[in-house]
Amino acid sequence: MDAEAQDSFREFVENRSSALLRTAVLLSGGDRHAGEDLLQSALMKAADRWHRIDEPEAYVRQILYRQQISRWRLKWRRRELSVAEPPEAAADPDGAAAAELRLLMRGALARLTARQRTVLVLRYFEDLPEADVARILGCTVGTVRSTTHRSLARLRSLAPELGALDPADPGTRSSRDFSPVEVRP
């Protein structure tokens, strides 16, 4: 890689790594370390071909999705994610509600299968249409629809508290919430 390409790659990583990391963490079921590993390996693959890439962010996101698909296909044993419970008394009542929602959503997403979680992340966090999700996952649009339906139903059963939240109430949601998935009973 020449000096100009290195500078371009370094600038891309500085500007876009936080957004890409959020996606990688979501794809990894809320496990930040696994998300960092996923992003790091995607960036390494992109660096090898940096001079040939027209749309770097789309290219890196595609690598993230494909690597996550490869991880489920390896059929590794799924590790449990331990999450500490939030404290009883919150120092900041506005921030506490948002943090509680993120923890609740993260815990519920972590208990979904990797495929269910990936479909929800692509559909609702990445806001991709069903056809694009089907293309990325290598399946039909019908499979994406049925997986989305089953995933949302499972999410509702895992975290029924999410259905009681009023999305119009600014105290319960913020633009930086963990996921934009609307879950209603």
pLDDT tens across 8-46, in order?
899 999 999 999 999 998 888 888 898 899 999 999 999
Name the region of 179 (left: φ>0; alpha: ψ -120 to 50; beta: rest).
beta
Q: Which amino acid is at 121?
A: V
Whether 124 and 179 have beta carbons less than 8 Å apart is answered as yes
Q: Say what the pLDDT of residue 88 is.
A: 55
pTM value?
0.51
What are 42's two structure tokens?
A: 């995607």
pLDDT, mean of residues 148-171: 75
Question: Model confidence at 173, in pLDDT bands (50, 70, 90)?
Answer: very low
Question: Model confidence at 180, in pLDDT bands (50, 70, 90)?
Answer: very low
Of the ranges 68-72, 131-135, 172-176, the best mean pLDDT one: 131-135
Per-residue pLDDT tens over the stretch 71-96: 766 655 555 556 667 555 555 556 77
- The chain-wide mean pLDDT, for the chain, equals 79
Per-residue pLDDT tens over the stretch 95-126: 777 778 888 888 888 888 989 999 998 998 88
CA-based diameter of the chain, in Å?
Answer: 55
